[in-house]
């Protein structure tokens, strides 16, 4: 999938244009295009020109650039821009949170040439001696450098999973495999992964291995064995494939799904029961008699446990819960009845109400909430009162013509730096769903940011706190916020917390989701759709919810229309 590489190029182009002081609209167009391409679950190489042009921010010019990258691996305009900007400066731009203006300042005043230089000077507080640079900026830069370095060994799930699934479908097509599944952290839906672990059964392991190491996306073969091979594919992702015997498949799947700490706990239980559990099967210790291993359930059954879903296997209490018969009945994708975070053409989305409703119905939903950005977010053409009220009228008129589906009115309002929202209560009270989110002032202190979120949760008309921690996996850390206090505020006011299912957000994360559930705070799992196929990201949000032990009853948009409306009504003063 080329999406990430192209998105990164466009984003770099925006940085370079900014350094050169070019037209702000041009810069924004590149940024917006980058963001939207990165969020697509579908490979741009497989999209028609028409589909590309439907992506917000992508016109004829960028379509041509995408095609050129596809064909030549290069974008001419990017190469040209890069040559016009000093190399050291371009390196600084790779640090998350360090914008072009600041990078230029450092480059010119401090002659910083690489990331190590930058780190050293930030630690020595040399950066904050420059005008306009605060100590907080130094802290943010150090965090950015840490993210950058960490990002090299763990990749975001949302980047790796589509590529892993592509490999699976190619293998299914070209290799003589019987069973073929993902294992490891991907199967557990962990938010970042180190590599892709694939497990298969086959009568001809040799041929499977040979097809695998010759797949078109393979860039390097690390190991080519008779039943195990390792390769590196485009984007620097390592993929391991193992072929095992059918009678061991379940045991191997349990073993290679992990997590390691979950496996260790299982093996301890086995020892106490006079059993031996490994990747080949479950055996009786005293005579090595084979008791099972063909199916994954065997492993749990023979240890006297109910089946534990992969998303729970982190040794976070799931073994105890299984022993005591109190595992959660986990939420499933099919439980979701609608999506409460959807953008239209009115702000930075790219579709009409009609198109969105059609796509939502195809996914079996009963409702969606239209939540365009509001006026504080100029880059996203946020709606002012007047435009929002127009949209509201349009939604009501459209609703009157719908049967068996409900469009909810809404907005995604900005929680401003001074804790106020960018639309007045008289407007908000007319909406069914109000999402409140932070889109600015990420560098503020923990105290201030926490206060912003707490006060938003206290506003009588806010329904959901959206993407509450502001992170972008592998790119931008969460802002500094005391989520415990935000949760306490949400509990007091009965507000819901979002799991934003956009694959690079996954915000809140799994541990916060678990905490929310423990505190009895309702969760809303939403895709933040701007382009139709982003509706399909719901599975990411549901999986994070499952990693947070959520059940159907914990999630407001797993309710049917009537029950959701009842819940919404009770929330209002």
List residues binding Zn ion (CB under 5 A).
Answer: 412, 528
Residue 263, contacted partner among Ca ion, ligand DGT, Zn ion, none, CB below 5-8 A by kind: ligand DGT
Print burial letters for 359-385: b (CB count within 10 Å at least 16), e (below 16): bbeeeebbbbbbbbbbbbbeebbbbee
Distance, in Å, from the CA atom of 555 to the CA atom of 545, rounded to the nearest integer, reads: 9
DSSP 410-472: EEEEEB-TTS-BSS-HHHHTT-SEEEEE--S-TTS-HHHHHHHHHHHHHSTT--EE-STT--B
Total site size for ligand DGT, rule CB under 6 A: 14
The SS3 of residue 12 is helix
Kindly state the smallest distance separating residue 270's Cβ from ligand DGT, in Å. Answer: 12
Comparison of 155 and 427: residue with beta carbon closer to Ca ion: 155
Query: Nearest to Ca ion by Cβ — which residue?
Result: 184
Residue 260, contacted partner among Zn ion, Ca ion, ligand DGT, none, CB below 5-8 A by kind: ligand DGT
Comparison of 63 and 527: residue with beta carbon closer to Zn ion: 527
Residue 69, contacted partner among ligand DGT, Zn ion, Ca ion, none, CB below 5-8 A by kind: none
Comparison of 63 and 229: residue with beta carbon closer to ligand DGT: 229
64 CB contacts (<8 Å, ≥6 apart)? none
Kindly state the smallest distance separating residue 549's Cβ from Zn ion, in Å. Answer: 26
Distance, in Å, from the CA atom of 484 to the CA atom of 213, rounded to the nearest integer, reads: 48
Distance, in Å, from the CA atom of 452 to the CA atom of 446, rounded to the nearest integer, reads: 10
Kindly state the smallest distance separating residue 473's Cβ from ligand DGT, in Å. Answer: 13
Distance, in Å, from the CA atom of 32 to the CA atom of 344, rounded to the nearest integer, reads: 15
Comparison of 267 and 345: residue with beta carbon closer to ligand DGT: 267
Kindly state the smallest distance separating residue 410's Cβ from Zn ion, in Å. Answer: 10
Query: Nearest to Zn ion by Cβ — which residue?
Result: 528
Q: Provide the token pair at 217.
A: 């996306």
Query: Nearest to ligand DGT by Cβ — which residue?
Result: 258
Comparison of 230 and 444: residue with beta carbon closer to ligand DGT: 230
The mark string for 152-191 relative to Ca ion (x by CB under 5 A, - otherwise) is: --------------------------------xx------
Comparison of 141 and 427: residue with beta carbon closer to Zn ion: 427
- 198 backbone dihedrals φ, ψ, rounded to 5°: -120, 140
Q: Which of residues 151-210 bind ligand DGT (CB under 6 A)?
A: 184-185, 190, 193-195, 197
Print burial letters for 431-470: b (CB count within 10 Å at least 16), e (below 16): bbbbbbbbbeebebeeebbbbbbbbbbebebbbbbbbbbb
Q: Which of 221, 223, 264, 389 binds ligand DGT (CB under 6 A)?
A: 264
Return the bridge partners of 162, or none: none
265 makes contact with ligand DGT (CB under 6 A): no
CA distances from residue 328 to 308, 374, 522 in whole angstroms, order as listed? 10, 38, 16
Comparison of 322 and 340: residue with beta carbon closer to Zn ion: 340
Residue 223, contacted partner among ligand DGT, Ca ion, Zn ion, none, CB below 5-8 A by kind: none
Residue 432, contacted partner among Zn ion, Ca ion, ligand DGT, none, CB below 5-8 A by kind: none
150 makes contact with ligand DGT (CB under 6 A): no
Residue 256, contacted partner among Ca ion, Zn ion, ligand DGT, none, CB below 5-8 A by kind: ligand DGT
Kindly state the smallest distance separating residue 194's Cβ from Ca ion, in Å. Answer: 5
Cα first-last separation, the chain:
48
Q: Which stretch binds ligand DGT (CB under 6 A): 16-24, 92-100, 250-258, 472-480?
A: 250-258
Comparison of 146 and 264: residue with beta carbon closer to ligand DGT: 264
Comparison of 66 and 199: residue with beta carbon closer to ligand DGT: 199
- 113 backbone dihedrals φ, ψ, rounded to 5°: -115, -20
DSSP 160-224: HHHHHHHHHHHHHHHS--SSEEEEHHHHTT-SEES-EEEEE--S-HHHHHHHHHT-TTEEEEEEE
Query: CA angle 229-233-235, nearest 5°?
Result: 150
**Cβ proximity of 282 and 276 under 8 Å:** yes
Kindly state the smallest distance separating residue 223's Cβ from Ca ion, in Å. Answer: 15
CA distances from residue 7 to 32, 33, 62, 254, 539 in whole angstroms, order as listed? 9, 7, 11, 36, 23
Kindly state the smallest distance separating residue 529's Cβ from Zn ion, in Å. Answer: 8
Crossing angle between the packed helical segments 446-458 and 483-493, to the nearest 10 degrees: 10
Comparison of 32 and 188: residue with beta carbon closer to ligand DGT: 188
Comparison of 197 and 412: residue with beta carbon closer to Zn ion: 412
DSSP 218-257: EEEEEEE-SSEEEEEETTTEEEEEEE--GGGHHHHHHHHH
Q: Provide the token pair at 199.
A: 């497990």
Residue 412, contacted partner among Zn ion, ligand DGT, Ca ion, none, CB below 5-8 A by kind: Zn ion
197 makes contact with Ca ion (CB under 5 A): yes
Q: Which of 125, 149, 150, 260 binds ligand DGT (CB under 6 A)?
A: 260
Comparison of 251 and 508: residue with beta carbon closer to ligand DGT: 251
Contacting residues toward Ca ion, per CB under 5 A: 184-185, 195, 197
Contacting residues toward ligand DGT, per CB under 6 A: 184-185, 190, 193-195, 197, 255-256, 258-260, 263-264
């Amino acid at each position: 999938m080329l999406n990430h590489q192209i998105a990164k190029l466009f984003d770099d182009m925006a940085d370079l244009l900014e350094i050169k002081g070019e037209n702000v609209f041009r810069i924004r167009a590149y940024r917006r295009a980058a963001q939207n391409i990165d969020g697509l679950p579908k490979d741009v190489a497989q999209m028609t020109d028409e589909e590309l042009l439907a992506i917000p921010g992508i016109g004829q010019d960028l379509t041509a650039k995408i095609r050129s990258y596809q064909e030549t691996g290069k974008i001419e305009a990017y190469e040209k821009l890069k040559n016009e900007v000093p190399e050291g400066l371009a390196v600084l731009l790779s640090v998350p949170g360090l914008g072009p203006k600041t990078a230029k300042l450092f480059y010119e005043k401090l002659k910083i040439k690489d990331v190590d230089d930058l780190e050293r000077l930030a630690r020595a507080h040399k950066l904050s001696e420059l005008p306009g640079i605060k100590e907080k900026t130094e802290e943010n830069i150090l965090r950015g450098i840490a993210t950058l370095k960490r990002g090299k060994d763990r990749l975001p799930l949302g980047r790796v999973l589509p590529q892993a699934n592509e490999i699976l479908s190619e293998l299914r097509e070209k290799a003589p495999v019987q069973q073929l599944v993902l294992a490891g952290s991907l199967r557990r839906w962990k938010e970042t992964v180190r590599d892709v672990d694939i497990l298969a059964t086959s009568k001809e392991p040799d041929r499977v291995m040979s097809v695998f190491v010759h797949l078109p996306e393979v860039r390097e073969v690390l190991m080519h064995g008779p039943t195990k091979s390792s390769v590196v594919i485009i984007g620097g992702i390592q993929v391991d494939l193992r072929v095992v015997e059918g009678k061991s498949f379940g045991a191997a799947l349990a073993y290679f799904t992990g997590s390691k700490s979950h496996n260790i706990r299982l093996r301890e239980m086995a020892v106490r029961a006079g059993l031996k559990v490994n990747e080949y099967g479950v055996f009786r210790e005293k005579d090595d008699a084979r008791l099972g291993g063909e199916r994954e359930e065997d492993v749990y059954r023979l240890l006297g446990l109910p089946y534990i879903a992969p998303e729970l296997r982190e040794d976070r209490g799931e073994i105890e819960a299984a022993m005591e018969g109190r595992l959660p009945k986990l939420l499933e994708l099919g439980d979701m009845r609608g999506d409460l975070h959807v953008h239209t053409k009115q702000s930075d989305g790219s579709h009409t109400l009609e198109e969105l409703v059609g796509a939502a119905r195809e996914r079996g939903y009963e409702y969606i909430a239209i939540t365009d950005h509001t006026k504080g977010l100029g880059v996203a053409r946020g709606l002012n009162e007047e435009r929002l009220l127009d949209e509201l009228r349009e939604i009501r008129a459209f609703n009157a013509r719908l049967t068996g589906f409900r469009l909810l009115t809404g907005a995604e309002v900005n929680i401003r730096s001074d804790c106020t929202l960018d639309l007045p209560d008289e407007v908000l009270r007319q909406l069914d769903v109000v999402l409140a989110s932070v889109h600015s002032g990420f560098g503020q202190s923990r105290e201030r940011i926490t206060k912003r979120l707490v006060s938003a949760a206290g506003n009588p008309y806010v329904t959901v706190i959206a993407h509450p921690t502001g992170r972008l996996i592998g790119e931008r850390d969460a802002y500094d916020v005391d989520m415990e206090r935000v949760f306490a505020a949400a509990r007091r006011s009965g507000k819901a917390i979002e799991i934003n299912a956009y694959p690079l957000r996954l915000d809140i994360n799994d541990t916060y989701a678990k905490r929310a559930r423990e505190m009895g705070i309702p969760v809303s799992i939403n895709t933040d759709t701007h382009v139709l196929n982003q509706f399909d990201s719901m599975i990411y949000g549901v999986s994070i919810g499952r990693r947070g032990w959520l059940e159907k009853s914990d999630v407001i948009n797993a309710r049917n229309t009537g029950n959701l409306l009842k819940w919404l009504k009770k929330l209002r003063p």
